[in-house]
Amino acid sequence: MYELIDLFEKIRNFMEKGGPVLTAIFITIFILWALVFERLIYFKTGHRKQVNAVMATWEARSERTSWYAIQIRMAMISQVTMDLRSNFPLIKTLVVIIPLMGLLGTVWGMIGVFDVMALLGSSNVKAMAAGVSRATIPTMAGMVGALSGVFAASYLKGLMDKEAGLLEDHLTKDH
């Protein structure tokens, strides 16, 4: 129990050192990973059901070679692909926004350093160090969050492209 309280205290101290921008960064990272996990869960559950339903509908067609049949096939593939890529643009946007929020934290922290220098002069190193810490922690958090998001987005993109290609291959045009 004491370990949990100690961990909570360390996290709270870290968040205080990073300033208010660090809280916004962590909330944004949490949203990013919630969207990534939602896509992964969709791949394992909803996508499989949708692909099975589309394949059953296509296989039930008696005619698959006419222009109309090909258009229906393309519409089915497009719908599944669109559902497959849902939320992906938002994930990519958050990956881009997170390091920018880290840079905002850098500016915020450096403003604090300049305020200390204006009030106390450059001789108060302890006060300046707190501002520098407030400047570097959000930058580091933004870069780590964005880097993890880049890997997740890259993995999801590969998975989406593979699944879309497999569906297109499974829905044969000939009978």
Give helix 125-170 / helix 67-84 axis angle, nearest 10°: 160
pTM of the model: 0.79
Phi, psi at 77, each rounded to 5°: -65, -40
pLDDT of residue 10: 83
Task: Say how far apart CA 40 and CA 47 lie, in whole Å.
Answer: 10
Print pLDDT tens along the chain (175 aa): 788 888 888 888 887 777 788 889 999 999 999 999 999 999 888 888 888 888 888 888 788 778 888 888 888 888 888 888 888 999 999 999 999 998 888 888 788 777 777 777 666 677 677 677 778 888 888 999 999 999 999 999 998 888 888 888 777 755 4
Domain edges within the chain? 14-170
